[in-house]
């Protein structure tokens, strides 16, 4: 395997000179190599491992490829990816869990060839695959992409779809080519999006659907007929989904509430959404208050009286005036260094202080 981390991790992740027996070929099952990193990808790997254990399974998971261990939490301890941890927990051979920093590294490609993969499957792997990689598996590389391709090609398809307020999205199985998310589509499945679902939940749902779709299509992928039926994407309908940037996380209340509500849903998890308000004490002295907005609703119009900048409270929500006479209802929020709280508890804690939109 490629570059290794400290000694403790080396025992878990550095590959041996020869692959272990799981890839050795004393079986008629076809070798699949899985590539993925976060928790949603771990759920796909779990589905594949369970299916591969069936006596009549046509494939086995011969190796796992994932991102290198990363420093996490306050202790900055190096921790394996969710995919690596799942593989280890399932008893997968540690010398067949590859963690190259780049998928084009010569040592990694050499080790991959020794595994003799007939098909590679990717799900939120997070690394660009060079042509030298794509040339290795004879049945190609298939990606689970959480959008209805050619819509939302890129790193953040679920988040950008929610930000756009789509009412329908889905998941696609597509062959990987050098151009980003541009390969022929083997199959796709639609999913109706309600107005309150957030990105982490929708990601999990779509990758779960993608896992089932993959198992359904694997026989045709492994006998080669999927390549014949796969449909080229219509490049005239392409939309893009660039990765999220933490600088985008601020809410601007001159925009309409619906746009802000969709942003809260899209940016849930990381990077979240932030807003600045003004807290005015009993002496009329203002102070800037920064909050993280967790859960919201959108109202097309505000029917509560105020001076146009005043933040009010009604029912269980803060009511923040927004563009177009609309109103953002903040149901849950978080103050710096504090736990998530309800709007009601936050409002009760103001003790008569006035809350305004920050200019």
Q: What's the sign of the alpha-carbon dihedral 309, 313, 314, 318?
A: positive
Which pLDDT band holds residue 99 (cuts at 50, 70, 90)?
Answer: very high
**% the chain with pLDDT above 90:** 85
**Distance between CA atoms of 254 and 24, rounded to whole angstroms?**
62
**Distance between CA atoms of 31 and 23, rounded to whole angstroms?**
7
Model confidence at 159: pLDDT above 90: yes
CB 358 within 8 A of CB 278: yes
Q: How many residues would you count in the chain?
A: 359
177: left (phi > 0), else alpha (psi -120 to 50), else beta?
Answer: beta
Q: Where are the beta strands (DSSP E) in 245-316?
A: 273-280, 286-299, 312-314
CB 132 within 8 A of CB 109: yes
**Distance between CA atoms of 267 and 18, rounded to whole angstroms?**
43
Between 64 and 11, name the one with better pLDDT: 64
Q: What is the DSSP letter of 330?
A: E
Which pLDDT band holds residue 356 (cuts at 50, 70, 90)?
Answer: very high
Which 3 state secondary structure label does DSSP give 48? helix
Task: Give the chain's largest Cα–Cα span.
Answer: 81
H helix and E strand count, the chain: 10, 16
Which pLDDT band holds residue 302 (cuts at 50, 70, 90)?
Answer: confident
Which pLDDT band holds residue 15 (cuts at 50, 70, 90)?
Answer: very low
pLDDT of residue 7: 35
Structural domains of the chain, with CATH: 30-241 (3.40.50.170), 246-357 (3.10.25.10)
Model confidence at 107: pLDDT above 50: yes
Residue with tokens 């799981």: 22
What b/e string do you get for 225-234 counting C-beta neighbours within 10 Å, with b at 16 or more?
Answer: ebeeebeebe
Model confidence at 17: pLDDT above 60: no
Model confidence at 160: pLDDT above 50: yes
Give pTM, 2 decimals: 0.91
Model confidence at 223: pLDDT above 60: yes
Residue with tokens 């930000």: 163
pLDDT in tens, 108-144: 999 999 999 999 999 999 999 999 999 999 999 999 9
């Amino acid at each position: 395997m490629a570059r290794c981390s400290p000694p403790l991790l080396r025992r878990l992740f550095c590959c041996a000179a020869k692959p272990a027996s799981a890839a050795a070929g004393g079986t008629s099952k076809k070798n699949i190599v899985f590539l993925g990193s976060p928790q949603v990808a771990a759920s796909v790997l779990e589905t594949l491992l369970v299916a591969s254990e069936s006596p009549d399974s046509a494939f086995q998971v011969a190796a796992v490829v994932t991102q290198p261990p990363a420093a996490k939490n306050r202790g900055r301890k190096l921790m394996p990816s969710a995919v690596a941890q799942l593989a280890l927990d399932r008893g997968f051979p540690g010398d067949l869990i590859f963690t190259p920093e780049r998928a084009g590294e010569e040592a990694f490609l050499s080790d991959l060839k020794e595994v003799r993969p007939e098909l590679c499957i990717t799900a939120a792997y997070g690394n660009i695959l060079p042509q030298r990689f794509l040339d290795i598996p004879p049945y190609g590389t298939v990606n689970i992409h959480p959008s209805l391709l050619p819509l939302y090609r890129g790193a953040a398809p679920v988040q950008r779809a929610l930000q756009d307020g789509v009412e329908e999205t889905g998941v696609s199985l597509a062959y990987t080519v050098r151009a980003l998310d541009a390969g022929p589509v083997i199959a796709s499945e639609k999913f109706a999006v309600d107005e309150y679902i957030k990105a982490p939940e929708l990601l999990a749902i779509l990758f779960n659907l993608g896992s089932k779709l993959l198992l359904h299509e694997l026989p045709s992928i492994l006998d080669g007929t999927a390549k014949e039926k796969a449909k080229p994407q219509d490049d005239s309908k392409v939309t893009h989904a660039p990765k999220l940037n933490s600088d985008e996380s601020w809410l601007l209340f001159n925009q309409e509430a619906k746009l802000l509500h969709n942003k809260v849903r899209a940016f849930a998890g990381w990077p979240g959404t932030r807003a600045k308000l003004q807290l005015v004490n009993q002496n009329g002295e203002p102070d800037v208050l920064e909050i993280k907005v967790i859960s919201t609703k959108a109202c097309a119009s505000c029917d509560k009286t105020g001076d146009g900048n005043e933040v009010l409270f009604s029912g269980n929500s803060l009511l923040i005036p927004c563009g177009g006479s609309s109103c953002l209802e903040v149901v849950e929020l978080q103050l710096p260094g504090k736990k998530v709280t309800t709007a009601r508890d936050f409002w009760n804690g103001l003790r008569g202080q006035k809350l305004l939109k920050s200019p």
